[in-house]
């Protein structure tokens, strides 16, 4: 068996039945991925980390998975080699400047937006990149009005300064509708984003329509850049 690297985020079951020593159980992510038919789909996993969602997507019948992250970690390289996935592509880059001229059937945005300085731009880009489905998971709260709450360091997770924003589910939904998507699944979230219980939520959106001219008029321009592909 290949030499296993350190610093795993997810628990991923390997071919011999062993499990990588991550801290996130597969059951914690099933609320997002189980709602999506991956058969024959082209999938973009934004913030792929260890490749957990890429593994599940390919095992569920996805035709191709592109794993996008600002760092290509040893853990995801191990996963690609271990499973011998020819159709898992590792791409180093950011959702802020990822080439919008290529679209995917499914875009997965798990555990990322609340760490970003501009989550609205990042979410908008995810919707622009999807032909069919976008799944979002992260720190979100319930509010009838679209709102975004700035979080102080350590406010929701002691010792973790990486959490910046909580977005309301209504704000995410309005962003989605602006891009021609409607929600088909929502779970979690809380009226108090600082609460440790139920502070994370998941939402799945499906494309219903798009006014191409109106969309082009308001949408943010993104210049294509050359990305490294492993």
Residues paired with 69 in a beta bridge:
92
Q: Cα dihedral sign for 91, 187, 171, 206?
A: positive
In a domain, 59, yes or no: yes
With helix as H, strand as E and coil as C, how does 7-60 read?
CCCECCECCCCCECCCCECHHHHHHHHCCCCCCCCEEEEECCCCCHHHHHHHHC
Distance from C-alpha of 208 to C-alpha of 163, rounded to nearest angstrom: 32
Query: What is the per-residue pLDDT for 213?
Result: 52
In a domain, 134, yes or no: yes
In a domain, 201, yes or no: yes
The mean predicted confidence, pLDDT, of the chain is: 84
Whether the pLDDT of residue 225 is over 70: the answer is no
Specify the residue for token string 């002691």.
158
pLDDT, tens digit (0-9, with 9 covering 90-100), for 162-204:
878 889 999 999 999 999 999 999 887 766 655 543 378 889 9
CB-side neighbour CA atoms (13 Å) of 101: 4
In a domain, 1, yes or no: no
In a domain, 223, yes or no: no
Question: pTM of this prediction?
Answer: 0.86
In a domain, 73, yes or no: yes
pLDDT, tens digit (0-9, with 9 covering 90-100), for 96-134:
887 667 899 999 999 898 888 899 999 999 999 999 999
In a domain, 194, yes or no: yes
User: For residue 193, what are the domain limits?
Assistant: 26-218
Any idea what the CATH number is for the domain that residue 201 is in? 3.40.50.150
Whether the pLDDT of residue 69 is over 80: the answer is yes
In a domain, 6, yes or no: no
What domain count does the chain have? 1
CB atoms under 10 Å from CB of 86, counted, come to 9
């Amino acid at each position: 068996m290949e030499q296993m690297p350190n610093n795993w985020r997810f628990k991923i079951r390997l071919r011999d039945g062993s499990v990588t020593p991550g801290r996130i159980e597969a059951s914690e992510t099933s609320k997002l991925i189980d709602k999506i038919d991956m058969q024959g789909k082209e999938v973009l996993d934004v913030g792929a980390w260890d490749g957990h969602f890429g593994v599940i997507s390919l095992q569920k019948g996805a035709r191709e998975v592109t794993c996008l992250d600002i760092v290509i970690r040893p853990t995801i390289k191990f996963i690609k080699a271990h499973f011998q996935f020819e159709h898992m592509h590792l791409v180093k880059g950011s959702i802020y400047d990822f080439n919008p001229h290529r679209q995917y059937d499914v875009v997965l945005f798990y555990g990322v937006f609340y760490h970003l300085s501009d989550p609205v731009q990042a979410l908008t880009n995810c919707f622009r990149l999807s032909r069919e489905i976008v799944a979002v998971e992260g720190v979100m709260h319930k509010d009838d009005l679209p709102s975004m709450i700035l979080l102080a360091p350590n406010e929701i997770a002691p010792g973790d300064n990486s959490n910046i924003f909580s977005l309301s589910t209504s704000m995410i939904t309005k962003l989605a509708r602006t891009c021609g998507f409607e929600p088909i699944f929502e779970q979690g979230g809380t009226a108090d984003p600082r609460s440790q219980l139920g502070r994370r939520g998941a939402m799945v959106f499906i494309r219903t329509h798009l006014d191409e001219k109106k969309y082009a008029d308001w949408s943010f321009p993104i210049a294509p850049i050359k990305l490294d592909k492993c």
